[in-house]
Amino acid sequence: MIVRRLLVTIPMLFGAAVIVFFVLRLIPGDPATAILGSHSSPALVAQVREDLGLNKPIYVQFGDWISRILLHGNFGQDYITSQSISSEMASRLPVTLELCALAFAGSVIIAIPAGVVAAAHRGGWADRIIQFVSVVTIAIPDFVFGILGILLFALVLKLVPSSGFIPFSVSPWENIQSLALPAIALALGFAGVLARVTRSAMIEALQADNIVFARAVGIQPRSIVYRHALRSAAIPIVTVAGMQAGYILGSTVVIETLFVVPGIGQEVVQAMLNRDYTVMQACVLIFVTGFILMNLLTDLFYLVLNPKLRRAAT
Residues that bind other proteins (CB under 8 A): 28-31, 33-45, 80-83, 88, 91, 123-125, 147-148, 150-152, 154-156, 158, 161-165, 257-262, 266-267, 270, 272-275
Q: How far is the CB of 10 from other proteins (least distance, A)?
A: 31
Q: How far is the CB of 204 from other proteins (least distance, A)?
A: 18
Q: How far is the CB of 126 from other proteins (least distance, A)?
A: 12
- Count of residues making up the chain: 314
Q: Which residue, 34 or 138, has its beta carbon nearer to other proteins?
A: 34
b or e along 176-185 (b: 16 or more beta carbons within 10 Å of the residue's beta carbon)?
ebbbbbbbbb
Q: Which residue, 36 or 296, has its beta carbon nearer to other proteins?
A: 36
Q: Which residue, 251 or 274, has its beta carbon nearer to other proteins?
A: 274
From the list 237, 9, 291, the residue with the least C-alpha distance to 1 is 9
Q: Which residue, 33 or 298, has its beta carbon nearer to other proteins?
A: 33
CA pair distance 71, 305, nearest whole angstrom: 39
Q: CB under 8 Å to 147, separation ≥6 — which residues?
A: 258
Q: Which residue, 16 or 133, has its beta carbon nearer to other proteins?
A: 133
Give yes or no for a contact between 195 and 236, defined as CB atoms under 8 angstroms apart. Answer: no
Q: How far is the CB of 142 from other proteins (least distance, A)?
A: 14
CA pair distance 187, 104, nearest whole angstrom: 6
Q: How far is the CB of 208 from other proteins (least distance, A)?
A: 21
From the list 255, 217, 209, 229, the residue with the least C-alpha distance to 99 is 255
In DSSP terms, 77 is beta-bridged to: 84
